Amino acid sequence: MALEHAILVSLLEKPGSGYELARRFERSIGYFWTATHQQIYRVLKRMETAGMLAVREVPQQGRPDKKEYSVAGPGRAALSQWLHEPIEPESLRHDLAVKIRGAAFDDPAALIDEVERHRQVHSDRLAHYLAGELRDFTGPEAAAAPPDAGQELQHVVLRGGIAYERMTIAWLDDVLVTVHRLGASRPRT
Q: What CA–CA distance (Å, rounded) separates 119 from 172?
A: 6
pTM over 0.85: no
Residues in the chain: 189
Each residue of 134-176: pLDDT tens digit? 988 888 877 777 888 988 998 999 999 999 999 999 999 999 9
Q: How far is CA 92 from CA 25, 95, 101, 103, in A?
A: 22, 10, 15, 20
Give the mean pLDDT of 13-24: 92
Give the mean pLDDT of 81-108: 89
Q: What CA–CA distance (Å, rounded) separates 77 from 129?
A: 31
Cα within 13 Å of Cα(2), Cβ side: 11
Q: What CA–CA distance (Å, rounded) separates 121 from 96?
A: 13
Each residue of 99-131: pLDDT tens digit? 999 999 999 989 999 999 999 999 999 999 999
pLDDT category, 187, cuts 50, 70, 90?
A: low
